[in-house]
Amino acid sequence: MPDRRQPDSPTDDNPFAAPPEGRPDQPWQPRGGGGGNGDGPKDSDGQRGPARWDPTDPIQRRARYALLAGMWGFFFAIFQIPSVGLLLGALAIYWGISALRGKPAPATAEGAPAAPAAPSGLDALGPAARPQRTAAVSGLVTASLAILLAFGSYALQLSYKDFYVCRDDALTKSAELQCNTLLPDNLVGDVLKVRQ
């Protein structure tokens, strides 16, 4: 098969190409959206765009913890491990609220005091606050669902304690099936009853 060569492309698109003749060398700069100084993308007002996630910032860290703990708490509550779901849900609510209300470390330049009227909480992060706020709110929602499911599971176990004790003490399948008589004849009874 013959070698198919691509037509020569202009060197403007090649970041590794030598500069054109008569033009001085320029120091390397990372590609970015608009600024060209490596500080990140800038919007139409010249302000810096959303910053990357900073794991050293406690507000951003708590927002991510809230999302992860709420999600895992919801899964544990769904899969009938309500104690772990309740613990993770409570932690997610704490982390989510502290992320939404938290105050970032004051940004001082060479020991100068921070401005007294600076915004607090996630608002102080500026454009970088949006993904963190989304993570914190999502963590609060999933944590609330996890806590509701955990309390619902505990409420069922208290309401139908006789059925659960009978089922746990049954030694044979027929004895376990006899425990279905302790359940009400409604949707909850149909869900909880022992299947053959």
Which of 27-31, 151-155, 180-184, 189-193 ranks highest by mean pLDDT?
151-155
Q: How far apart are CA 45 and CA 85, in angstroms?
A: 45
**Confidence at residue 22, expressed as pLDDT on a 0 to 100 scale:** 82
- Look at residue 72 and give its three-state secondary structure: helix
* Confidence tier at 156 by pLDDT (50, 70, 90): confident
For residues 108-114, average pLDDT: 52
Asked if 102 contacts 121 with a C-beta cutoff of 8 angstroms, the reply is yes
Asked if 175 contacts 194 with a C-beta cutoff of 8 angstroms, the reply is no
Q: Which residue type sits at 70?
A: G
Q: How far apart are CA 182 and CA 52, in angstroms?
A: 57
**Confidence at residue 35, expressed as pLDDT on a 0 to 100 scale:** 46
- Of residues 31 and 19, more confidence is placed in 19
Q: Give the tens place of pLDDT for each residue, 137-153.
A: 999 999 999 999 999 98
| Block residue for tokens 């037509």 | 7
- Of residues 58 and 46, more confidence is placed in 58
Q: Rounded to two decimals, what is the model's pTM?
A: 0.60
Q: Which residue type sits at 120?
A: S
Asked if 87 contacts 73 with a C-beta cutoff of 8 angstroms, the reply is yes
Q: Which two tokens stand for residue 89?
A: 């849900």
For residues 113-131, average pLDDT: 63
**Confidence at residue 37, expressed as pLDDT on a 0 to 100 scale:** 47
* Confidence tier at 183 by pLDDT (50, 70, 90): confident
Q: Which two tokens stand for residue 166?
A: 């009978």
Asked if 177 contacts 196 with a C-beta cutoff of 8 angstroms, the reply is yes
- Look at residue 97 and give its three-state secondary structure: helix
For residues 103-130, average pLDDT: 59
